Each structure stands twice: as C-alpha cells, then as structure tokens.
Chains A and B, each alone.
Chain A
Amino acid sequence: MQEALVKFKSRYWPDHLLGEILSKRWTETAIPMIVLIVVAIALSRAIPGFLSPASLGDTARQAGEIGFVVLGMGLVVIVGGIDLSVGSMFALCDFCALYCLDVLGWPVPAVIVATIACGALLGAVNGVLIGYLRLRAFITTLITLIIFRSTYDLLLVGNSVKIAASMPDFPSWDFIGGGDVFGIPSVALLYIVVAIFGHIFLTRLRPGWHITAIGGSRRSAYNSGIPVRRTIALCYVASGALTAIGALFFAARLGTVGGDVGIGLEVTVLTATVLGGITLGGGKGSVAKALAGTLIVLLITNGLTTLSVRGGYNRMVLASILLVAAMIDIRWLKNRNRIISKVYVAPAYHYLPPPPPTEIGKGGPFEQNDKLRNVSLIGLGKIEAPEDVILDRHDNLYAGSRHGDIMKFYAPDYSRMEVFAHIGGQPLGMAFDRNDNLYCCIGGMGLYRIAPDGKVEKATDETNRSIWSVNDDSRLRLADDLDIADDGRIFFSEATVRYEMDEWPVDGLEARGNGRIICYDPNTNSTRTVLRGLKFPNGIAIASDRQSILFAETFGCSIKRYWFDGPKSGTVEVVMDNLPGYPDNINLASDGNYWLALVGMRSPTLDLAWRMPDFRRRMGKRLPVDEWLFPNINTGCVVKFNEEGQILESLWDLSGANHPMITSMREHRGHLYLGGIANNRIGRYKLDGADPNFVQYDKRWGKQS
C-alpha cells in the first residue's frame, strides 16, 4: 500500500523540476515579478480604483521618472558600485531645466540637451573620482550628494522666485510633462524605448558584457583586457544622464523647484534596485529587474499614500523593505548553489522483479562459468579505459582511452600501438560507416567522425531542444553508443541529460528516465531526438530487418527494440527485461545473433533501495559519493542473445582478475575482443566454433577489395 503511494508520487509529482527551475537564472527575476503581482492584487483589493486607467496613467508617469533613475542606479550597481548622489543630481537637473527654460528662455530642444549634459557632467564628477582615481563609491557619492545638494540650495536662493514667476507656454514642453500617445504617457513611451535598448545593451552588446564582467570580478575583467576604469567612469556618466532624463520629465510635469525636490530619492531608488534583484555585490542584474523593482516600490508608496498613511511611516516601510531585500539578496547569493545541489537530485521509484539465478548449480542461461579465465591480454598497462573496442577490415584494433585518444593496435599481434586520433574527451561507443569513417561517441562532447587518415571532425554536438523540459537539453552531455542505418543515419544513445559523464552514479541514484536516443543524419547534417525518458540507454545495434535498432537500458536492466522505418515505424517493443545485470554495449555476432556486455550485476540491497526514493535522497545528501550504495560494476559477463529475447550463451570470469568489468565486446575472425571502461587492458578470447572469417564491417557494408 505504502509502496503504491511512493510509486504514484514518483510518477506524477515532478520533483526533479524544482532543482532545474532554481538553477535557471530567470528565477531571480521571477521572484520580484511574483512580488509585484501580489502587491498589485493586494492593493487593488484594498483601494477601490487603484488599477483604474487614470490611476495607472498617473502611476506610469511617476514610474517613468523614477524608472530612469533606477536604470542609472542599476547600471552603477551592476558594475560594482553605488550612486547615492542621484537625489541631489535629480534636483540640480530639475533646476537646470527650469532655469534654462524660464529664466534664460532657451528653446525646448536646447533645454533638453543642456539638462542631459548637466546630468552627464555631474555623473562624470563621480565617474572620474571613482573610476580613475579609484575612490570608494559609497563615500564619494555620499560626499557628492552633499556638495550637489548644497549647490542646489545656493542656486535656489534668488532664482526660485524667478522660476516660479514665469509661466512658459510651449506645446512641446507640455507634451513632455503631460502628453500621451494612445493613452500611454510620453514618459512611459520613452522609458519603454530606453528599457528595450538597455536590455539589448546589457545582454547582447559588448560594453554591456564588459559592465557585467567588471561587476562580477574587477580583477579578472582587468586581466582579460577590459578597460575597467573607463567603463566604470562611463557608467556613472550614464547614471547622471539617465537621472537628468527623469528630472526633465519631472520638471515638465510640475515646473517647480522646491527645497524638497529629490530628497530621499536615493533610498527609494536603491530599494527599487535591490528589490528587483540587482545584487549589491555587482555583476548581476537586468532591466526587467529594475522595472519590477521600480513598480513594486511605486505601488507600495502610492498605495500607502492613498491609504492616508503618514509620510514618516511611508519612509519607514520603504526602509524596512530595503533591509529585508538586501538580507535576502545576500543570503540567496551565498547559498544558491548549496540549495540547488541539495534539491537537484530527485530519486524516482524504480521496481525490478527478483532477477533470474546466476549461481552455479541453479541452471538457467546466466549460470556462471569460468570461460573468460584464459583470455589473452592486449595493451596491458598501456591503455586506460577502453570503453569500446572495434576492428577494421584490415584486422587492426581500435580502442578509446581516458586521455581523449583513440589508440590503434596493429594486426596481427596487436603489440604495436599508436595514437590514431586525439579528440580530447573520453571515447565511448564506436562504429565504422560504409566509407570506413570511424564514428565515435565522446562523453561530454558529442558525436565525432574520424576519417581513415585520422582526421577528426565533429559530426554533431546538439539536438533539438525539448519544448517541455526546463533544462536546456539541446547540448549532448553523455553520448554513449551508436550504430549506423543503411542510408547512413546514425542512431546514438545519450545516457542522461541531467548529469555529466563523471556524475553517472548520481543518475544511478536517481534511476529516473533521463536518457534518450538521438538520430544524426549526415546527408542533411541534422540531428533530432527520437526517443525520450529512457533509464540510462547505452548499447545500440541495428537489427536484422535494417529498420529497427536494439538498445540496452542499463539501469532499466532491459533490451528494447525501436523501429525507425517500415510499417512499425516509431514503435518500441521490449526484447528482454529483468536481466540479472546492467546491460551495456550490443554488437553483432557472426551467427546473426548479438553479443551483449553486462557491465555489472544487480545486488538485492540496491534493488530494494531503488524502490525507496526517499532513502536514496537522504543517502545522496548525507553520504559522500565514495560511500554510496552503487550498482555493482566490478563483476560482469558477456551474453549472446537473439532478437526473440532468448539468452543463448554466457561467458564469465569468475575470479574477476582479468576483466572485473566488461563494457563492450566485438567479434572478429573467431575471437571476441573485450573492453572495459575501468580496465587497463583489452581481452582477446578464442570463440569455439565461430566463423573464422567473420569481419563485422565486411558483413555490414559488403566486402571491399
């Protein structure tokens, strides 16, 4: 009963998604967005007409003005600084705009240019001090805050009356202050344009990347040749200019120069920045975050004002929010990776019936024997990690090594060895095509093609992205084994899409269908996924009808058949299941049957653990990988089976001395060649009664002279 519940939960509750979602960068933007929606809904419930068009238009106007300042602040924070002087700059720019317009009587375009230039100049003061003279951002802008504010107060004396007295009447000026296009306020329109540009700038353009890089690590950015000082200085200039734009709209809307203009603005803006999720430490942030933060802060302040909360409390609320947001920001930044690594691994329920017997004396096709005791060894101590072995038409032997090479052993005695090709990743399954090109799956890299002269080419390293998967599964993480159809299409398995090759035990701990089978068509140079949700798919071999493949699911302990052509196209059938071990590579035998490597054998304790996902989850968290309960891959065997799913023969190495692990085998001229990914040797076993002239790729592609 309880087990049924566990099974049900494991099947329908997608707990592997939590880790995948949290590891997405966009969750950091999603959280402020959710807060924004919650705030908007809560306030619209509390205040009638809060979200009415008129109210929204008014909010949008203020949002635009503050929004520009937040954009500037965001930029400075991303580059790793802070700008406390925005409030004073805002006031000075407001004064500049109104003085030029009302007292000097300049035309509106000239006023706009002058104001922005004024803001940029003020920002440049900060920029030079912080960027070039390398003063601390916090203390510098605190000082400029005071200086700019004092300047403003001094200028105000004598001029405020002049400004207040004049009543300029320019339609363009009024449009800036209160106009709209299709109901959208002018300020919001410009904000949208600037925001879109800002987004492209930060995410797609070189200077934007420089800014993020400097914020992330100033020293690394400097070492990689980024002009750190200039970029920082320019960010402060941009902050000043953006503040000036905000001030311009403010001036046009209200036309006043009071003593309280811009006072406390830096707190509002900083709150918006941090609340949006722009990290104070620098290096992280986006325009969307700045926008979300601006709207949250504005909705809250406006909401509180409408609810007749007194100004003091209003500020207090804002400051408290800033404190909480900064705290969450710090904690999240520190613990993000830890949290993700804790929730990412999500074991699933995996039931296997009791396995068939293997013990001597119990009979059955898997009964142990000692046939592999007398294998001769090739390349002992000279090759490491030959996952697959393959022989060409001229009897030469090829095997991968963990140094990222494909080694070639020369016939007839296989004692001479050389590096055939260097690829750089661990070579796994291999197959020859019609033209003697060697196709090889490389763990962590993809599918590679090696020409007979040893030239290495990438065939494919990506496939179509699944629509519904959260993780981007277009890149190949663990291409494992392959075989080639008559028309040249290559079917290869990818063992897992959630982990890297060295993390295969984690995938075993999860025992979830994370693997897939992918088809690469060299004729069109296209790649697409054909089967998903497989439990560590591994060996692949073309079946006798040439319209289907046989594939092994290692942790599923089964062999299945998939038709890619013909009347049964697209269907999957089980050939064998409940194997006593973990199947690995499949290859053709001379009598038309198939060799299958069992890389390891099942143990009852792991079979039970696979039925208890929570036990494994805790094991994964509490124990180091070296202490985990593993699939036993220290003992394996080779079996021969046919397409009806019958086991015909099994070959064992009882002592496990020569071949503790067998991941692949290849029949060639009456011998069986054995490879193992944790071995430092290749085995050669004399097959009794096998066709002494059998050459797999002569048979597959027709004999060539």
Chain B
Amino acid sequence: MIPALREFAHRFLGRGEGAITVPPFDGALKPNQTLEHAEIVATLPTAEDLATDGSALYVADGQAVLQMDGASLAPVRQFEQPLTALCVLPDGRLAVALAGREVRVFAPGDSSDIVISGEGMTAVNALAPGRNGTLLATDGSTDLPYAEWGRDLLSRGRSGRLLSVDPASRKIEVVASGLRYAFGAAASGDTTLVSESWRHRLIAVSAKGDIKPVFDHLPVYPSRLTPAVGGGFWMTAFTARTQLIEFVLREAAYRRRMMAEIDPEFWIVPRLTAGHSFREPMQGAHLKTMGIIKPWAPPRSYGLVVRLGADYAPLYSLHSRVDGSNHGVVAAVEVADSLYVLAKGPGRLLRLKLSDIKSEVGA
C-alpha cells in the first residue's frame, strides 16, 4: 500500500523514479571528437556487425559476410536473409544470425552449415564465442523483430534474453530472460558480460542465470561488446539518452498516440542517425544559432565507444558528438594495431590507430 502510494506521489511530483535525470558524460566518458575524426575505411550503408579472428576483419553487410583483404572487402558468403549478428569462433568458423531468427555456423569455403533455430528466437542481435565451444547470443526482444527496437523501447519492452547455443548438439539454452533489451555479450571468465540497453547498464550473468550489475547509470544505451587485446572490453553505445526520451517513457498516453499516429521515422525515440528531416522532433538546444549547432545539445543520435578494463570500469571513451555524423556505433573490434568501428548511422566503417587513440585521449 505504502510503496504504491509513494510510487504514485513520485510520478505525480516528478521525484524519485519519476525524476527525469540523465547522468552526465563525465570522468572516463568525458566527450572528445576522436571518433568523429576517425579514418573512413569504407561506406557500407547496410553493414550490421563486425568480427575478427585476431588478424582478419569480417563484416556482416546486408545479406553477405565480407572479409577485409588489405584495403578492399571481398565477399566470403552470401545468404538469402539479412544478417543481424556475426562472430568468429575460436576454431575459425564463423557464426551469423539471419533476420534475428536463426543462427548458422559455417567455415569459410565450406558450404555445409549448421542451422540452429527455435526457442522463439526473434531478434538475435549479437553473437559471441562462449565457453566449451558454445556460442553466446543475445535476443533483444521476443516481442518485436530486430529492426523495431525503437518500438520495443517505447513499449518498455522487457523480453530480452541471453542464450547459450551449442553448435554441436544444436541445442539452445536460455541463460537469462526478462532483460530490458539485451544487445551484446562477451564471455568474461565464469560469467557473461551482457549489455542491457533499456536499463542503461552492463550486467554479469553467471552460468546459473544470476544477474549482477557491473557498470550502471550509463548516459547511453550500450550495445555490442568485444574483448580487447590485453584484457578488458570494447563497449559500443548505439545511441544516447536524453531527458525528453526519459520523460516520454513516463507518458503512456502520448507514447501510445505517437506510435499509433506518427511515422516511426519522426518519433521521439533514439535514432542511429538524425537531422535528415525537419519533421524529426527538435529540442530547445538544437536551435542553430549563428549557423552552429551545439555539440552538447541533447543527442537524438550519438557515437560512442568505451574501453573497459578487465574489472569493467571505463578507462577512456571515443565520441562523435551531436554536431558530428559518425553516430549509431554498433560494433568495435580490435584487429592488430587498429580499432575498427562500425557507425551504422552514416553506414561507415571507421578505423582508428590504437597509438593515435592513446595520444589523443591520453590513455
């Protein structure tokens, strides 16, 4: 009774859970323009994910898996459905998710695929090698397909899952469920590190499915994770939080009508890229003054890669701010001496030399 009353009072007065606050980009997340200044390797409007075996870079682009060969990208394999996730297994085989509903494991040059489906896979958006030859998969939502993640956020979706797939037996085990959009996983010792996007946090999931937050109160919606050479992880954030979105998430009537009446392109919801139409929602700080849009304006789209230490604490971060364009970062992998970043907003494959990053962000 009293908690219910308190919740009502909080909502009514805008306190507690009803308060609309977004943590600032501070400390290791202090903004810079490193990502904005990155070298553009290729423009791939349909690219979706990156993976590496340590020396070669693979790109999931539309329905094809490409391999970076020197400066050019060569197709490795063509599928009949769009790819939503890609990873390289320790034995050199590749794993892909097709339309978020099916996982296939194959060896380059070999046409016999292992096809794994079932368990209600709906929006598999990331794959990662697990322990003992298994494959970790995050299923963002079991209600809505991968492309409709914006609607899942506005519907306050909480049907994300962490799956463990065994390619040998083609069995799928649900490790954790009820996550508020799982997007990205990486094995970390005995546990699995998972991005729980709508809760703005990273969680460590044990083999039994126990959840422990390890990095929370993020100002962004985290996405895919990859291990970094020398320990730690690269965490990407596909978009950032704003107070307006936090406010709209507390306004059920407006959300319902917006989803029913307005073209999704113009919703008040985070996007991978923004500023292409005047019909998109504009916020106060977006007003161009003397021809300039402020980089600190509330981001409708944002570009961010965070380097995490082995203890999951952030070490430094690479940004593309509101006035930039390398937004919607969904994947970052370290290959040799470079970090490859996929900015899905403009559809760009970016490359940053690790030595340059170190000098630029002082890490």
Contact = CB atoms under 8 A, between A and B. Distances in A.
B108 interface: no
A601 B20 CA distance: 28
A384 B285 CA distance: 18
B283 A603 contact: no
Interface string B269-309: 00000000011111111111111010001100000000000
A600 B261 CA distance: 22
Contacts of A566: none
Interface in B194-252: 242-244, 247, 251
B279 A602 contact: yes
A208 B287 CA distance: 48
Given A608-B258, A608-B262, A630 B14 contact: no
Contact of B287 (A608, A627, A634): A634
B257 interface: yes
A45 interface: no
Contacts of B280: 603, 632
Interface centre among B267, B268, B284, B293 (most CB of A within 10 A): B284
B266 interface: yes
A661 B293 CA distance: 12
B244 A629 contact: yes
Contact of A627 (B242, B251, B291): B242
B253 to A, nearest CB: 7
Contact of A612 (B242, B253, B288, B290): B253
A610 to B, nearest CB: 12
Contacts of A631: 282
A396 B20 CA distance: 51
Interface centre among B262, B279, B283 (most CB of A within 10 A): B279
A354 to B, nearest CB: 10
A635 B298 CA distance: 18
Contacts, number: 108
Given A600-B278, A603-B279, A626 B284 contact: yes
A218 B268 CA distance: 51
A37 interface: no
A603 B254 CA distance: 15
Nearest to B293: A634
Contacts of A634: 278, 282, 286-288, 293
Interface string A401-439: 000000000000000000000000000000000000000
B263 interface: yes
A384 to B, nearest CB: 6
Interface centre among A612, A627, A633 (most CB of B within 10 A): A627
B279 A627 contact: no
Contacts of B288: 634, 656, 660-661, 678
A680 interface: yes
Contacts of B257: 608, 612
A312 to B, nearest CB: 41
A276 B220 CA distance: 54
A629 B268 contact: yes
Given A605-B266, A627-B285, A679 B290 contact: yes
Interface string B19-46: 0100000000000000000000000000
Given A612-B253, A626-B297, A678 B282 contact: no
Contact of A605 (B243, B268, B298): B268
A618 B251 contact: yes
B20 A626 contact: no
A384 B244 contact: no
Contact of B278 (A603, A621, A623): A603
Contacts of A109: none
Interface in A258-287: none
Nearest to A634: B288
Given A626-B297, A630-B287, A605 B247 contact: no
A622 B253 contact: no
Contacts of B14: 618, 621-622
B290 A632 contact: no
Interface in A599-644: 600-606, 608-609, 612, 615, 618-619, 621-635
A356 interface: no
B243 A680 contact: no
Contact of B262 (A605, A624, A660): A605
B244 A604 contact: no
A627 B243 contact: yes
A606 B282 CA distance: 9
A623 B247 CA distance: 8
A660 B291 contact: yes
B50 to A, nearest CB: 31
Given A619-B247, A661-B288, A680-B290, A632 B278 contact: yes
Given A608-B254, A615-B253, A629 B289 contact: no
A601 B279 CA distance: 7
A364 to B, nearest CB: 15
Given A603-B280, A612-B254, A678-B289, A624 B261 contact: no
A505 interface: yes
A630 B281 CA distance: 7
A680 B290 CA distance: 5
A615 B281 CA distance: 15
B3 to A, nearest CB: 22
Given A612-B253, A680-B291, A605 B258 contact: yes
A384 B278 contact: no
A53 B20 CA distance: 61
Given A627-B298, A680-B291, A632 B284 contact: no
Given A601-B279, A604-B262, A678-B290, A628 B284 contact: yes
Contacts of A678: 287-290
Interface in B166-212: none
Contacts of A657: 291
Contacts of A626: 283-285, 297-298
Contact of A630 (B247, B254, B267, B282): B282
B334 to A, nearest CB: 36
Contacts of B243: 623-624, 627
Nearest to B268: A605
B171 to A, nearest CB: 45
A628 B283 contact: yes
A619 B283 CA distance: 12
B290 A603 contact: no
Contacts of B258: 605, 608
A602 B266 CA distance: 11
Contacts of B283: 626-630
A618 B243 CA distance: 13
Contacts of B279: 601-604, 632
Interface centre among B242, B243, B291, B293 (most CB of A within 10 A): B291
Given A603-B266, A608-B262, A623-B243, A384 B290 contact: yes
Contacts of B298: 626-627
Given A615-B254, A627-B298, A603 B284 contact: no
Contact of A609 (B242, B254, B266, B286): B254
Nearest to B244: A627
Nearest to A368: B278
A505 B285 CA distance: 11
Contacts of A605: 258, 262, 266-268, 281
A603 B283 CA distance: 11
A672 to B, nearest CB: 19
Given A619-B247, A630-B283, 16 more contacts: A602-B279, A603-B266, A604-B279, A608-B254, A612-B253, A612-B257, A615-B251, A623-B243, A624-B284, A627-B244, A632-B278, A632-B280, A633-B282, A634-B278, A635-B278, A661-B288
Interface of B: 14, 20, 242-244, 247, 251, 253-254, 257-258, 261-263, 266-268, 278-291, 293, 297-298
15 contacts: A505-B284, A602-B279, A603-B279, A603-B282, A605-B258, A605-B266, A608-B261, A615-B253, A622-B14, A623-B244, A627-B283, A627-B285, A630-B287, A631-B282, A632-B279
Q: Which 7 A-B pairs have the closest CB atoms?
A: A626-B285, A635-B278, A632-B282, A601-B278, A680-B290, A605-B281, A626-B284
